[in-house]
Structure 1
């Protein structure tokens, strides 16, 4: 299928746009770690300290790998699952009322939309401008 948009450039932009949110949030959680633990406890996350450690590792660590296009398919699938799980843990709109309910409803379904982007990226692949492509080109035998 021909497109007016350059595939590899759009896939790079997709990775960077999806990863930016998570890297920024992961950094914020790391630099304000005690607040992150308190937030986890307030949202009802299981084992708040462990949940905080996992969220920092996923968001900051895997977010950086995604930005660089390393292990893109598996990481994109993990992020899709993670983002849906965090919708239920952190944005349980059905427990709120009024504007808070509406705001949480938006956040809940925004997480589902972001997950859709991750699933599309998992299927499309990282594109040529990625560590995955670089490693694939160096490990592939000549002429294949």
Structure 2
């Protein structure tokens, strides 16, 4: 089987970035409403080490990383940061539980991590800030059908 044609692949990557970005920003805004101290207190209750630093990191990844993914900017870094944050969420809050989110399970953090990893691996697609900046830097490197990578 062949991969999707470039225009369809670019549209699919855009859809993944938009959906993942919206979910991350929504969770970041939710944490922002609790404030760093509120999030850190919750993290401390879960046994997360360095709860204030961890709270700041997760809030930055969810808000900042979510916005970066929406734009398709610094996609590899943002995607990998999402994977790290979700790995922490899995290890400290969801491991050993049912996979189902309604039972406190890991399915949501797993899907978010998989999306971040997929975007880090595949790149943001043509409809992104990364592609726009890449085209301005080195237009001779882009060939028909070539994927956009950071």
Normalised TM-score (structure 1): 0.81
Aligned partner of 2:111 among 110, 113, 121: 113
Larger displacement relative to structure 2 (69-78 or 124-133): 69-78
Normalised TM-score (structure 2): 0.78
- The one-character-per-residue Cα deviations of 1:56-106 (angstroms, maximum 9, x if unpaired) are 111101111111101112221221222122111122445x9xxxxx812xx
Q: What are the residue-to-residue correspondences of 1:1-144 with 2, within 5 Å?
A: 1=2, 3=4, 6-33=8-35, 34-93=37-96, 103-104=103-104, 107-142=105-140
User: Which residues of structure 2 form unaligned runs of 5+?
Assistant: 143-150
CA distance in 2, matches of 1:55, 1:129: 27
- Structure having the larger proportion of residues in helix: 1
Specify the SS of the correspondent of 1:6.
Answer: helix
Equivalent pair of 2:87/2:113 in contact (CA under 8 Å): yes
Equivalent pair of 2:65/2:79 in contact (CA under 8 Å): no
Q: Kindly report the root-mean-square deviation, in angstroms, between the aligned alpha carbons of the 2 structures.
A: 2.7
**What is the CA-CA distance between 1:17 and the residue it aligns to?**
0.9
Equivalent pair of 1:83/1:115 in contact (CA under 8 Å): yes
CA distance in 1, matches of 2:141, 2:25: 38
User: Which residues of structure 1 form unaligned runs of 5+?
Assistant: 97-101
CA distance in 1, matches of 2:40, 2:52: 5
Equivalent pair of 2:82/2:112 in contact (CA under 8 Å): no
